[in-house]
Amino acid sequence: MSHYLFKKIGWALLTVGFVVVLNFFLFRILPGDPARAVKDPRLTRQSIEAVRVRFGLDKPLPVQFLLYVRNLAQGDLGTSFHQQRPVATILVENLWNTLLLIGAGTVLSILLGIVLGVAAAWKSGTIIDYGALIGSLAAWATPTFWFGMILLFWGSSQLGLPIGGKLTAGASYDSWWEQWLDVGKHMLLPTVTYTIIYAGQYTLFMRSAVLDIFAEDYILTAKAKGLHSFQILRDHALRNAMLPTVTVVALNLGFTVAGAIEVEKVFSWPGLGQTIIDSVERQDYPVLQGAFLLLAISVIFANLLADLLYSYLDPRVRVT
Amino acid sequence: MPQNNFWQSFFRNRMGVIGFVMLAIAVAVAIFAPLIAPYDPNTTVRVTIDNIYSPPSAQNWLGTDDAGKDVLTNLIYGARVSLIVGFFASFISLVIGGTIGLVAGFYGGRVENVLMRLTDILLVIPDLPLLIVLIALLGRGMPILIFVIGILGWTGTARVVRSQTLSVRERKFVQRARAIGAGNLYIIRRHIFPLVFPLMLVNAVLVISAAILNESTLAFLGLGDPTRLSWGQMLNFAFSRGAMSAGAWWSLVPPGLAIIWVVLGLTLLGNGLERVFNPRLEMHHLAIGDEMVARPPQVVGPVAVAAVGKTVGE
């Protein structure tokens, strides 16, 4: 176990290292000198030089890289060009909103996906199966942002739901309960968007996992023993199908991030995705760089967690 | 495999045929756009208060957009942009992924280790944020869009090609060719590539669908080519220029349905082709007559189940 553990952790750290290097060099080598981002025709040559000194751009590249790594280690991601505040502070504020949204959407989509996927496999070849299959494929093919727009269009005009944001602007609340009710109203449509789009993938996956297990000999054995079909499903098929599902959920987090960016843009949800889009529009490179790093590292660790969880659930992988 | 057999099993797989027809219609619309479209997309329209977001009518079957232009015309010409980006980007992905997969699978050892680790690392880094960063730094425009989507979309292909190469490499005829003195490049070109190619083609279909989704997402986020009206770009304009508050559903709904049409067609076609090239007994003991099993794309080890994910075209 310990060998497997060390290997996995080692690869995760190596990947983080790769991302850090990539992140540094992308923003240095590619066209887009950070000093140019603070562009203003009134700037004199001296003040441009001062900006370069301030951001450490006058030093040789290797030195800049070491400084960057040292600052990272201290949790210093630089200062936002636009807001003149530490990038780390801005990101942490938005991180919680994104986690709230992704968390709710992920849990709901997994539950929905498992239920639909098992039902489809169980009733394989029937109208339930085809319905679930076509629905999931359609959800897979649907752009998340577009589905969100349609829901927003319909929900804000027909249901009177808020058009975006996290809280009603200028509202004051008598209790935390009222405040959360308002947040809930704002979260409803983004969460539904997210849930439906991602449930499609989980349904497809769960369905094929259960079908694979139905083809195993031990299912035939269980049937020959005279066990009731439902019993077979519950005791033999479901448990084994849950195994790969755990992994797929964690591995999907990378794509989950894409969904979060799209949903946040459509519903003006003040999260990391919104931060990234805004920072591109404002050419706020420190924020963009920090947000990318934070997202990539989160996904890497989610994957590591999945690997470890999988090896805990299925001891066979530790041996190979 | 014999030609007859291929078409037989392909047509027996109805979903694949439906996907093929859906894609063929989209490609036909893109090619014959000037013949089909009711208006010329480049004519300047004199914008008045009446033709901004005007609802569907006899003149404009799908109404007009924020600039008073015909939505149906934009939709038809948008097919060109989306499909071109999809095809060219996936071509880049296939060349990179195919080369890496072939080299890794054929040479094995340290080369394989390094290449596959690189693939794994790229597979873990979330696609969309990296795409956004690259475009923010490189600038907007169709060639850049094709380039960045292409160079990030090859990981799935590399994995598929590598595992196929591994199995072909051990076949008798490859060993015989080596025994009579054939060089590595010759063996790869004449013996391995022809057997790996069909699988690459199947993979290509799914890579194209991922590329088209990526293009529309980036365009919607305002990172597309602003001078070319792809479906994603139409949605971006509609969203940011008040179609929602104007109640102009006709400029919101059609582009999305068009994206779904093409991506769904490609997905069905890809799954169908996969079933033809990779036939496995899809039966289970609890049900009989299970005709259609559109499983998520093939899995290589526990990690690659991520293939069900949205942006991986594996």
**pLDDT of B262:** 95
Q: Is the torsion defined by CA of B232, B71, B139, A50 positive or negative? A: negative
B-chain residue closest to A152, CA distance: B244
DSSP string for B45-92: ----TTTTTPPP-SS-TT-B-TTS-BHHHHHHHHHHHHHHHHHHHHHH
Give the mutation candidate from B128, B138, B208, B283 for the A interface (greatest A CB count, under 10 A).
B128
- Distance between CA A51 and CA A49 in Å, rounded? 5
**pLDDT of A108:** 93
pLDDT digits (tens), chain B, 314 positions: 455 667 777 776 788 889 999 999 999 999 998 888 777 777 766 677 767 777 777 777 777 777 778 888 889 999 999 999 999 999 999 999 999 999 999 888 899 989 988 888 888 888 899 999 999 888 888 999 999 999 999 988 998 899 888 888 888 888 888 888 888 888 888 888 888 888 888 888 989 999 999 999 999 999 988 888 899 999 998 898 877 777 788 888 999 999 999 999 998 898 888 777 765 434 444 433 333 333 433 333 322 223 333 333 32
Please indicate whether, in this complex, the C-beta atoms of A150 and B253 are within 8 angstroms of each other. Answer: yes
Residue pair B253/A171 in contact by the 8 Å Cβ criterion: no
**pLDDT of B174:** 84
Residues of A within 8 A of B292 (CB-CB) are 130, 133
**pLDDT of A34:** 54
Q: pLDDT by residue (tens digit) across A223-256? A: 888 888 788 888 888 877 777 777 777 767 777 8
Residue pair B93/B155 in contact by the 8 Å Cβ criterion: no
Chain B: closest CA distance from residue A299 (Å) = 7
Please indicate whether, in this complex, the C-beta atoms of A205 and B302 are within 8 angstroms of each other. Answer: no
Helices A253-267 and B193-220: crossing angle, nearest 10°? 30
DSSP string for B165-234: HHHHHTSHHHHHHHHTT--HHHHIIIIIHHHHHHHHHHHHHHHHHHHHHHHHHHHHTT-S-TTS--HHHH
Residues of chain A with pLDDT below 70 are 1-2, 29-43, 55, 169-171, 251, 317-320
B-chain residue closest to A304, CA distance: B124
Please indicate whether, in this complex, the C-beta atoms of A252 and B308 are within 8 angstroms of each other. Answer: yes
Chain B: closest CA distance from residue A185 (Å) = 19
Chain A: closest CA distance from residue B38 (Å) = 25
Question: φ, ψ for residue B64 (rounded to 5)?
Answer: -125, 165
Chain B: closest CA distance from residue A46 (Å) = 25
**pLDDT of B302:** 29
Give the mutation candidate from B23, B117, B132, B300 for the A interface (greatest A CB count, under 10 A).
B132
Number of helices (H) and strands (E) in chain B: give both, helices first.
Answer: 13, 0
Short-list A10, A3, A12, CA closest to A318: A3
- Distance between CA B251 and CA B70 in Å, rounded? 10
Q: What is the pTM of this model?
A: 0.85
Q: pLDDT by residue (tens digit) across A85-128? A: 888 888 988 889 998 998 899 889 989 998 999 888 888 778 88
Of residues A142, A215, A261, nearest to B128 (C-beta): A261
3-state helix, strand and coil shares in percent for chain A, rounded to the nearest 5 = 80, 0, 20
Q: Give CA A103 to chain center in angstroms.
A: 9
Domain residue ranges in chain A: 93-271
Residues of A within 8 A of B241 (CB-CB) are none
Chain B: closest CA distance from residue A1 (Å) = 18
CATH of A93-271, one of 3.40.50.1370, 1.10.10.10, 1.10.3720.10, 2.40.50.180: 1.10.3720.10
Residues of A within 8 A of B287 (CB-CB) are 124-125, 214
Residue pair B168/B196 in contact by the 8 Å Cβ criterion: yes
Chain A: closest CA distance from residue B183 (Å) = 34
Please indicate whether, in this complex, the C-beta atoms of A142 and B216 are within 8 angstroms of each other. Answer: no
Please indicate whether, in this complex, the C-beta atoms of A153 and B252 are within 8 angstroms of each other. Answer: yes
**pLDDT of B288:** 35
Establish, for the pair of chains A and B, how many residue pairs have beta carbons separated by less than 8 Å: 212
Residues of B within 8 A of A32 (CB-CB) are 136-137
The percentage of residues in chain B with a pLDDT greater than 70, rounded to a whole number, is 84
Q: pLDDT by residue (tens digit) across B130-165? A: 999 999 888 888 999 999 999 999 988 998 899 888
Please indicate whether, in this complex, the C-beta atoms of B260 and A18 are within 8 angstroms of each other. Answer: no
CB burial string A91-122: b at 16+ within 10 A, e below:
beebbebbebbbebbbebbbebbbebbbbbbb
Q: Give CA B166 to chain center in angstroms.
A: 25
The structural domains of chain B, ordered by start, are 3-283 (1.10.3720.10), 287-314 (no CATH)
